[in-house]
Chains A and B, each alone.
Chain A
């Protein structure tokens, strides 16, 4: 019989690129920490939140059963290691808190195909085919390997899974483990998951005005100032638009609104979730404010190299 399965939400990261604690972000009407905790609680016998020692008393984290890092500074593997030591007979379903596209189905699929004979069961990344350690089941037998890895000065849990021949599964949904590290990615994920997340969005760029376009008080489309913008098209969008660029007058306030408008004029099949946005030749946010004279590029899935 397989060892009991406990859940662990990893929420100890520094969130440096987001410049805001990723555990507090909201995509589903509650904090991402709470959401991931609830998701795990559905399928695990007991669920815990992994924290660094100094995070124990943070209001959000203090509400949950915690496992405190014993080797802070080592990154996510410190959380996994602490859990395996705290409850050495349990297996751990470990999930990072920055995976807003994760679903119960993806967790159930992992559990259904779990191989307790290996030290871990994990998904193959849809991006590079390598194991995804932060949505994986770590068996009790992983404890020695994790401790040895740390003792050797190594911290990458992915390398450990590669070296120890973890059981690897293909993702039932290739986007399920897309993680969110930047304000731009947060904006795109919020758009993809629906409007519910907008109110909790961090401001997209210091210096730009707050994004008011999504609030209920915003003026209706007809009353908004019309601006002239240039849109450049590449690859499949260039072919579908039938041109490599166009200049147009629009009342759209954001790239998200502009793309919807363009979809009514061109046979674009790609959904916004599959695209990124660039504003004046820099990656941008779907909710950035469009200004007169801006150049916008919608970036289809890339395939360099």
Chain B
């Protein structure tokens, strides 16, 4: 299993967890990101994830490697969904096994935070009123200081 990968079909955490098992591990922490039915006051019906996969896979692997090194955990992995998702679907999964729980939580948090900020992945929300928009992109068209 790659440290970071994309999936075009529904995520299956049970299958991602097994490769993180390690006899030196005292625990495992995971994070699941779910599609929720609202964002910034609007009702969301479904959404689409799109990624620049060639770069995102490399950068995703770097993030997981950083987390393993920085928090000294045993194993870690992350899978991100792309394509069309419905409310309640899993958008992203992160799992970490480590000797002690604190590092597992910290590494898990680090991976999801960095994934959100660094990976070239975009989310288009489709709203109840038929409108749609790319998150973080639509209302900044006039921005830019300089």
Contacts and interface: CB of A to CB of B under 8 A. Distances in A.
Interface stretch (B9-17, B66-74, B97-105, B111-119): B111-119
Contact of B54 (A238, A271, A281): A281
Given A173-B145, A236-B122, A300 B137 contact: yes
A303 B135 contact: yes
Contact of B80 (A175, A238, A276, A304): A304
Nearest to A276: B120
Interface in B112-133: 112-113, 115-124
A272 interface: yes
B146 A273 contact: yes
A278 B55 contact: yes
A305 B138 contact: no
Contacts of B121: 302-305
Contact of A274 (B113, B118, B144): B144
Contacts of B143: 175, 271, 273-274
Nearest to A234: B52
Contacts of B96: none
Given A235-B50, A270-B140, A278-B55, A303 B123 contact: yes
A235 B124 contact: yes
A175 to B, nearest CB: 7
Interface in A266-305: 269-274, 276, 278, 281-283, 297, 299-305
Interface in A111-154: 127-128
Contacts of A281: 54-55, 58
A101 interface: yes
A281 B140 CA distance: 25
A304 B116 contact: yes
A304 B134 CA distance: 11
B33 interface: yes
B141 interface: yes
Considering residues A192, A235, A300, which has the most beta carbons from chain B within 10 angstroms of its beta carbon? A235
Interface string A85-119: 00000000000000001000000000000000000
B92 interface: yes
Contact of A232 (B52, B116, B134, B146): B52
B91 to A, nearest CB: 7
Contacts of B141: 269-270
Nearest first, the 3 closest Cβ-Cβ pairs linking A and B are A271-B144, A304-B121, A269-B141
Interface of B: 33, 49-52, 54-56, 58-59, 80, 91-92, 112-113, 115-124, 134-138, 140-146
17 contacts: A175-B143, A175-B145, A192-B146, A194-B146, A234-B122, A235-B124, A236-B122, A271-B143, A273-B146, A278-B52, A281-B55, A282-B55, A299-B52, A301-B140, A302-B119, A304-B51, A305-B115
Interface of A: 101, 127-128, 173, 175, 192-194, 232, 234-236, 238, 269-274, 276, 278, 281-283, 297, 299-305
Given A192-B144, A281-B58, 9 more contacts: A101-B145, A270-B141, A272-B144, A274-B140, A274-B144, A302-B120, A303-B116, A304-B51, A305-B115
